[in-house]
Amino acid sequence: MSPKTLSNFSVLLICIVLFASAVTAKTKETGEIISVSLQKRIPSELDEGAFIIVNEIQEWKAGETAIIICDMWDKHWCKGATKRVTEMAPFMNDVISMAREKGVQIVHAPSDCMEYYKDHPARKPGKKYKFKSVEAKLGEGMLECEKGAEWPFKISGGGCDDKPQCETGSPWTKQIETIEILDGDAITDSGIEAGSLFMKKGIKNVILVGVHTNMCVIGRSFGLRNMVRLGMNVVLMRDMTDTMYDSASWPYVSHFTGNSLMHEYIEKYVCPTMVSSDFTAHKQFRFENDTRPVIAFVTAEGEYRANQRLPEFAHDLLLTRDVNCEFALGRPITEGEGRHNIENLQILRDADLAVFFVRRRALESEKLEMIRNYVTSGKPVIGVRTASHSFAARGNIPRVEQGIDPAMGRASSFLSVWPEFDEEILGGNYQGHYGQINGGCDISVVPGMEEHPLLKGVDPEGFISPGTLYKNKPLRSERAQVLLTGNIPGQPSEPVCWLNRNKYGMAIYTSLGHWDDWEIESFQNIMINSVDYLLEIKSK
């Protein structure tokens, strides 16, 4: 090593040391940065009264973040509720431990149990501050629904789902022991105390976990509503909650679908939700008795309102099919920053059916791998309209992150694409579409297919679709069974809905899926029949 190289080397070393100590100082001050994926439903600007589903990634400083654990009592008056808390608690304790490790403030809030904790060291920070400015912002309201909204279900007997129903009461004495209370944690069941602690510590982000979404989680003095009133950035961790809903009450769905309906409600009217995977990097929690099939909706397009129509479809499925619906979302844009990304794709690991409504996205190869892994595992696929060119981005799309591509193990400058998805999985042959026709496109049932299970409830005379007609002829699969064709004047008819057995499994594709198609009963039935067919649900 020459003296010059040596001195360069020393400079480099000094730089590294200085840089490292700067980083340490920063992490000591605010803790780690946590990346959270927030799911929310906001009013549509295109369709009055409708909601769209959106995803937003936020980077939070752990030191500005708190988790409130709501009413995870040792015992509930409802036996079923107690059992579910017991089942969820070990997983929740892991999530809490990981968050605490990162520097998140943990607040234990077992309501009505402060007497039990009066000498606990964590009670001291819990009751240390009571600011008038905080008290002034808090409101009341446990059981009224939000203004302009309606509860998604009714309950009887307090929402107890046991038979016979349990007798109500207040048997709780403390938080369930499975959840550890450690140094630095706080105990309080007061919104003023919790809010004041947050003000004092500069906490801006609050995650609620615990039970029950339609009661205490939303309505307690430290609950979602009051944390929103305090101006906190509030999120419900939706896989770490439960609901008091009994299946004997409207809309007569399973207990777990009641929980899902409540998540929808909260995302629409109260605050976003997230899942524990952001802390654990593992699959989200699911109750053992929640055996509902999981449908993963993967949507990323900016032309056909998939971010409105698919959640509406998922809601119908919740009510009629007792399934569990999850969303992986890309931004609903056709151009511009953030187009080539889809978040939450880890739901595919757990899915029994995936519905794709994606248009010309390139992805980090790691993410595209998750999609490939799902599809090549042989699990079923539904493709809607632009799905044929889901991953056929035009041109080379540069990666934002330069350098080594973690999935490929080598340097890569471009995002990955999969233009063969159309041929290989759907059996399609997308080559653009015809122009808009006045009076729409004539959709007909292929002769001989009238009795096919996918066409149950479809008008045998056909129907009119308002969208443009996609060119897909000839299909590129010998095992595709065409069920519907589309016709416009002066052009050959085109396949618009088919079932394809590809080399991995089953796929159903339709080039229909314009936002107005979802108003047509025949189209709605095709979509529901497709889910029934692929999940082998016996129709009721």
Site for Zn ion, rule CB under 5 A: 78-80, 160, 162, 166
Is the Cβ of residue 144 or residue 167 nearer to Zn ion in the bound state? 167
Q: How far is the CB of 237 from Zn ion (least distance, A)?
A: 24
Amino acid at 459: D
Strand (E) positions, 71-180? 105-109
Q: How far is the CB of 259 from Zn ion (least distance, A)?
A: 15
How far apart, in whole angstroms, are the C-alpha atoms of residue 101 and residue 98?
Answer: 5
Q: How far is the CB of 80 from Zn ion (least distance, A)?
A: 4
Is the Cβ of residue 214 or residue 308 nearer to Zn ion in the bound state? 214
Is the Cβ of residue 101 or residue 162 nearer to Zn ion in the bound state? 162
How far apart, in whole angstroms, are the C-alpha atoms of residue 222 and residue 234?
Answer: 11
Judged by DSSP in three states, 430 sits in coil
How far apart, in whole angstroms, are the C-alpha atoms of residue 444 and residue 464?
Answer: 9
Q: How far is the CB of 445 from Zn ion (least distance, A)?
A: 49
CA atoms within 13 A on the CB side of 188: 26
Note if the bond before 474 is cis, omega within 30 degrees.
Answer: yes
How far apart, in whole angstroms, are the C-alpha atoms of residue 241 and residue 217?
Answer: 8
Is the Cβ of residue 43 or residue 169 nearer to Zn ion in the bound state? 169
- The partner residues of 498 in beta bridges, in order of sequence, read 482, 509
Judged by DSSP in three states, 162 sits in coil
- The b-or-e profile of 133-156 (16+ CB within 10 A means b, else e) is ebeeebeeeeeeeeeeeebbbebe
- The partner residues of 242 in beta bridges, in order of sequence, read 211
Q: How far is the CB of 517 from Zn ion (least distance, A)?
A: 43
Q: In what order do the strands lie in the sheet with 65-70?
A: 51-61, 33-43, 273-274, 233-242, 205-211, 65-70, 105-109, 186-187
Q: In the chain, what's the furthest Cα-to-Cα distance?
A: 88
Is the Cβ of residue 83 or residue 229 nearer to Zn ion in the bound state? 83
- Residue from 286, 279, 104, 126 nearest 197 by CA: 126
Q: How far is the CB of 161 from Zn ion (least distance, A)?
A: 6
Is the Cβ of residue 166 or residue 415 nearer to Zn ion in the bound state? 166
Q: How far is the CB of 32 from Zn ion (least distance, A)?
A: 40
Is the Cβ of residue 80 or residue 152 nearer to Zn ion in the bound state? 80
Q: How far is the CB of 425 from Zn ion (least distance, A)?
A: 45
Instruction: Tokens 């009055």: give the residue.
Output: 48
Is the Cβ of residue 93 or residue 247 nearer to Zn ion in the bound state? 247
